[in-house]
Structure 1
């Protein structure tokens, strides 16, 4: 009852608030810990409960290559993982059993291999060795890491117990090293010349199958065959320019054929694995078998996720039983650029007959997904991925399923998502049609996409919204666009109303309206950094700085500010509204503990609603009532499920929840049953946090 009374005053007393003082709330000491359910989306693992020897448990945000040993252990490498899990080892059941405890930001993660005793991998342009896993155990790769063994542009590795083969792309040669007992390499390796060497794989007879491909040529790659001493055996598999050859493996199990089988991962338009029988081969094979749906995720219903519908293949491997493993990262605009990163990582295991055994996903990196308001938050989209949430599931991490990949780089090669850094997604319904609005890590622009263009594919709307450079930019529930901030003319708040859709489903817009900045941002010292407008209650929410609460040096220009205000009746009164309340947030720059983003969710009749304020380094969400700005409490993630919130001068600790480091890193939504659900950026372990709260 109190909510209704307060809410009535919010509108009927606007004339009074214009002339009187407003409510000022100092957000210090929100000690009331709210009872929430902690969950997550986008990663197969929550990030906590690492087994002995491991510091973190998550699927990395990218996989550039894999190697699979005969037992079915999968070794992965990538150029970058926010938490430093640039190398990882998964056991035959898909459990993570090894990874480094230190942050290893690579310059080149295109090669990894192993023998019975050691793992060899590229990190930062250098080859290192770590102890190989032992059955049933887990361990830290950093603990046994050697010093640098090879320093060159390495694109492929293959190993026996006594020999390491290295693709030296810089000098156009294959290096052949003898392996010492401690895993180090003997000096003065043998070598043989080969232009543009890439991936390596060993046959059952010890011979080498080598990918030869020029990154700067579109004429196609080839696979050549040499013996272990570097003698050319004359066998060649040729590919035309439509094949983007990204990985190679040899099936020596002889489960499917009495001969060796060469497997090639093709990241071109076929999006499949090409399998060649090379038994008694002289010259070139005459044909191949395809593993996976030809066309990958774009076959049948486009964008629909299903087994054998690959997307962005980066590697392939085979174990001693003939099981096939495929790594993917969604692909990029160029067949030569394998760095998917924000597109996410996928690792799958299939039986020889094509039955999926397991799938491991690490889909989120500097991304914040958004709820679809048109179906009570059941569907969630980030810039590239479509998730479905089953709210009946209560086990943490079980609500989500990965249902769609919305980018088609082949049919729409100019899609702006291939070139622009789109990391934040808002889902809006305009005339019932689902429209995606996205912006980058530092905001400044909006890109607009139509969904379900063909299957689950989205594509650029013809509606153009130019980059203005505003940190405060926001699409409201009706598709109207709000801007404010540091770009000129910074003295204005700018609103561009939505007028619906044109005949092709593109949003249309009316004339821009400008408003003077209100108090407490109205002076020459006032800066607005965030804006959100609730169309149902006609309330504009702003955040920023002024001379009383100036921007501290450690907080960059993308920081939201320390002042948070609400202006009910904004459009009805043409912006001539004083704030109904003002919150002064806490901040501790010495401990990386300052606000980064906020999101507002309200009950449709305006009798209830909350502002959720998420912090940058120390991962927490402070909650305030939008009725009067009063503090409600604090949401923190359950560390036993998703890892602790531990911040250092170098960023989050290994295994910890990552920073919120984007202007709109949180999305809150009120479901029809009164439950508030919140998505929060967590790029350290390649996921989004999901919170469920009933007031």
Structure 2
């Protein structure tokens, strides 16, 4: 018989909490946010910057910025078969966007608007420069009142390929009369009339990419952009004749974008180890290096991982306005970001001709949470960043970007770059006097472990350990044993996955499957495995390198405790020897349609380590899968006197940890437009009790590039 603590049904108690956020310049209270990825920019003479990227969770793939503000986004690049792309150009009348068009696996059917089933289109969407939401048709519309038909009438289909095949438009440049498009998969630059969008000519270039249009009508084009080696740069006449001009690029340059300024200089965004914008000027009939913008080494120079002006990190675009201001976009890795996805953080920066930064916007977080640094006050870790807080400032201004944790030059095998599309959800613990960061992924397959060495690596997190689940998620890990289910520890301290550092699981207790990861304050790792029980890796101290030690020989297993039939989360508190568990019971069964949720019941067990734990209380959790939006709990945490449980739409239920009584609910406030995106991960909430009794509650917020920060001080 299930014993459930009685709950009085009443209107919810709204807690007096302040809403804030970290990781985005704008919080959406004013209707704006910085997009989560920028892979291409075009700069108008007046300093408006037009962007493009394959994905922004709320549809701002193509946006417009000026003077440190997001002005608007184009729309029509997200959903219903539409997507963003990797190229953008402007002239005085139009914005040209490289975009794909699909059919949502054959569910969208209308000739001329979507491709037939099994096909994918790649092409160019033409928009009004004064209002990029407005498509400018150049062909008849099937229905002038239908927005999709209107978009289609302003879309130029360039490539039609089988679904799953990539055939991006890889570069765009425009004058008032002519549009140039790089078609890398067909090894050519295509030339169109900018008004009729009729093709005028094509000319051969091997795998062309970004294009810069010079004032004299010639074009600089990236070449060889699809291979593994760094692209080249070639100079062409408007008719496609290659000119005998060479830019003296340093040997390790990785050019990713080009621009021309009013002085006739060629600007090259170098995403190689230099992380700079390189300037080249014509002198005595040839081009010579004439300057740079950015610290050599970018964010990894000086104190590695420390952000700041001119410390670029993953350059994707460069542009110049009529005044000579230079604009630089970054996303933490560069335009060719597979398999990372949009998760390393977008920035767009403006620099005056003398090199000082005039403004910057940041969209730094996606599918990410936050956890207070156990070793420093007012310091917060996310999946691959660190922030510092000044809680005396207004909402949304309390945070400062302080550290980027992933150094792809020093640690190219960091699983952030090989395992997930997103860095992961953090738990930071201080063990044996040292700080460690534990990251789980969006689907709770595995656990990454990082250590720190500030004297040598600054802000950078050093790959230290890894507990693998199913094979699918770890196929790109170098030297990994087949089948998944292994432990790796960086025995020699080089941050690489050497073949002799793996231990396959031969214990017989398989760890594949399950949704619950937790690292307790003493370093033990807990894994809730649905109907298979609870698995506990005991912390085995630190090895000679300073890595935490975990092994299958030091693994404790527990059966699913009554009254559960399936477990989804377990949180252990060593100080009270209490285990908090959530999941499903025979009376409160699972609905397989909702597979990330924490469950329908929360139970606290006391005396867990005695072998005879006592149930203190069992309380039903919010659960209404027919509501819109659905009401369930997707994550929870325990801190101070409270249990905090978050719904997928960001509402936080607060329970007294001793009695299980619900104290109240925190919902997003006006500072963020009273809106939250979907909490889409199993570990998307954390909390921290400050010395004055105030609680900081951090919640993943997928929609608009940030993490929510609720500030609540119990009465």
Q: TM exceeds 0.5?
A: yes
Which stretch has the larger CA shift, 223-232 or 439-448? Answer: 223-232
CA spacing shift, 1:171–1:58, aligned 2, 3 Å: same
CA spacing shift, 1:338–1:166, aligned 2, 3 Å: farther
Q: Equivalent residue for 2:88?
A: 112
Deviation at 1:596, TM superposition (A): 3.8
Task: Please say if residues 42 and 88 of structure 2, whose CA atoms lie closer than 8 Å, have aligned partners that are also in contact.
Answer: yes
Q: Equivalent residue for 1:390?
A: 390
Q: Equivalent residue for 2:699?
A: 680
CA spacing shift, 1:21–1:118, aligned 2, 3 Å: closer
Q: Equivalent residue for 2:436?
A: 435
Task: Please say if residues 597 and 635 of structure 2, whose CA atoms lie closer than 8 Å, have aligned partners that are also in contact.
Answer: no
Deviation at 1:391, TM superposition (A): 2.1
In structure 2, how many angstroms separate the alpha carbons of the residues matched to 1:679 and 1:319? 39
Q: Equivalent residue for 2:447?
A: 446
Deviation at 1:672, TM superposition (A): 1.4
In structure 1, how many angstroms separate the alpha carbons of the residues matched to 2:76 and 2:647? 25
Deviation at 1:339, TM superposition (A): 6.0
1:475 aligns with 2:519: yes
Q: Equivalent residue for 2:58?
A: 83
The higher relative CO (CA closer than 8 Å, separation ≥ 6) is in 1
Task: Please say if residues 66 and 75 of structure 1, whose CA atoms lie closer than 8 Å, have aligned partners that are also in contact.
Answer: yes
Task: Please say if residues 87 and 97 of structure 2, whose CA atoms lie closer than 8 Å, have aligned partners that are also in contact.
Answer: yes
Q: How does 1:585-624 map to 2 (within 5 A)?
A: 585-590=621-626, 591-603=628-640, 609-616=641-648, 618-624=649-655
1:506 to 518, 537, 547: 547
Task: Please say if residues 22 and 579 of structure 1, whose CA atoms lie closer than 8 Å, have aligned partners that are also in contact.
Answer: no
1:41 to 22, 27, 30: 22
SS of 2:64's partner is: strand
SS of 2:343's partner is: helix
Q: Equivalent residue for 1:261?
A: 265
RMSD, aligned CA: 2.4
Structure 2 unaligned spans of 5+:
101-121, 137-146, 160-167, 469-486, 488-510
Deviation at 1:188, TM superposition (A): 3.6
In structure 1, how many angstroms separate the alpha carbons of the residues matched to 2:187 and 2:10? 62
1:63 aligns with 2:63: no
1:580 aligns with 2:619: no
Q: Equivalent residue for 2:300?
A: 298
Task: Please say if residues 192 and 198 of structure 2, whose CA atoms lie closer than 8 Å, have aligned partners that are also in contact.
Answer: yes
1:149 to 146, 156, 181: 156
In structure 1, how many angstroms separate the alpha carbons of the residues matched to 2:325 and 2:559? 65
TM-score w.r.t. the length of structure 1 is 0.85
TM-score w.r.t. the length of structure 2 is 0.83
1:25-49, Cα deviation, whole Å (9 max, x unpaired): 4485551111100000000000122
2:538 to 489, 497, 500: 497
Deviation at 1:389, TM superposition (A): 1.0
Deviation at 1:464, TM superposition (A): 5.2
Structure 1 unaligned spans of 5+:
1-19, 51-56, 255-259, 604-608, 646-656
Which stretch has the larger CA shift, 492-501 or 399-408? Answer: 492-501
1:242 to 245, 252, 270: 252
2:660 to 629, 640, 644: 629
Q: How does 1:215-230 map to 2 (within 5 A)?
A: 215-218=226-229, 220-230=230-240
SS of 2:209's partner is: strand
Task: Please say if residues 210 and 224 of structure 1, whose CA atoms lie closer than 8 Å, have aligned partners that are also in contact.
Answer: yes
In structure 2, how many angstroms separate the alpha carbons of the residues matched to 1:671 and 1:373? 12
SS of 1:691's partner is: strand
2:571 to 511, 526, 532: 532
Q: Equivalent residue for 1:7?
A: none
SS of 1:177's partner is: strand
Q: Equivalent residue for 1:133?
A: 130
Task: Please say if residues 27 and 584 of structure 1, whose CA atoms lie closer than 8 Å, have aligned partners that are also in contact.
Answer: no
CA spacing shift, 1:532–1:281, aligned 2, 3 Å: farther
Q: Equivalent residue for 2:689?
A: 670
Deviation at 1:227, TM superposition (A): 2.4
In structure 2, how many angstroms separate the alpha carbons of the residues matched to 1:104 and 1:315? 22
In structure 2, how many angstroms separate the alpha carbons of the residues matched to 1:610 and 1:248? 54
2:464 to 450, 461, 486: 461
Task: Please say if residues 174 and 180 of structure 2, whose CA atoms lie closer than 8 Å, have aligned partners that are also in contact.
Answer: yes
In structure 1, how many angstroms separate the alpha carbons of the residues matched to 2:368 and 2:579? 25
CA spacing shift, 1:515–1:272, aligned 2, 3 Å: same
Task: Please say if residues 621 and 633 of structure 2, whose CA atoms lie closer than 8 Å, have aligned partners that are also in contact.
Answer: no
In structure 2, how many angstroms separate the alpha carbons of the residues matched to 1:74 and 1:515? 57
CA spacing shift, 1:207–1:175, aligned 2, 3 Å: same
CA spacing shift, 1:27–1:379, aligned 2, 3 Å: farther
Q: Equivalent residue for 1:402?
A: 401
Task: Please say if residues 531 and 541 of structure 1, whose CA atoms lie closer than 8 Å, have aligned partners that are also in contact.
Answer: yes
SS of 1:76's partner is: strand
Task: Please say if residues 528 and 545 of structure 1, whose CA atoms lie closer than 8 Å, have aligned partners that are also in contact.
Answer: yes
CA spacing shift, 1:459–1:28, aligned 2, 3 Å: farther
Q: Equivalent residue for 1:516?
A: 559
1:236-272, Cα deviation, whole Å (9 max, x unpaired): 33657622211111112x3xxxxx1111111111111
In structure 1, how many angstroms separate the alpha carbons of the residues matched to 2:597 and 2:59? 25
In structure 2, how many angstroms separate the alpha carbons of the residues matched to 1:592 and 1:247? 42
The alignment of Structure 1 onto Structure 2 pairs a total of residues equal to 622
In structure 2, how many angstroms separate the alpha carbons of the residues matched to 1:60 and 1:417? 21
Deviation at 1:129, TM superposition (A): 1.1
Deviation at 1:448, TM superposition (A): 0.5
Task: Please say if residues 445 and 469 of structure 1, whose CA atoms lie closer than 8 Å, have aligned partners that are also in contact.
Answer: no
1:437-488, Cα deviation, whole Å (9 max, x unpaired): 00100113211100245111111115756463331111011211111213xx
SS of 2:365's partner is: coil
2:193 to 172, 178, 201: 178
1:586-612, Cα deviation, whole Å (9 max, x unpaired): 222222423343333443xxxxx1111
Deviation at 1:82, TM superposition (A): 0.7
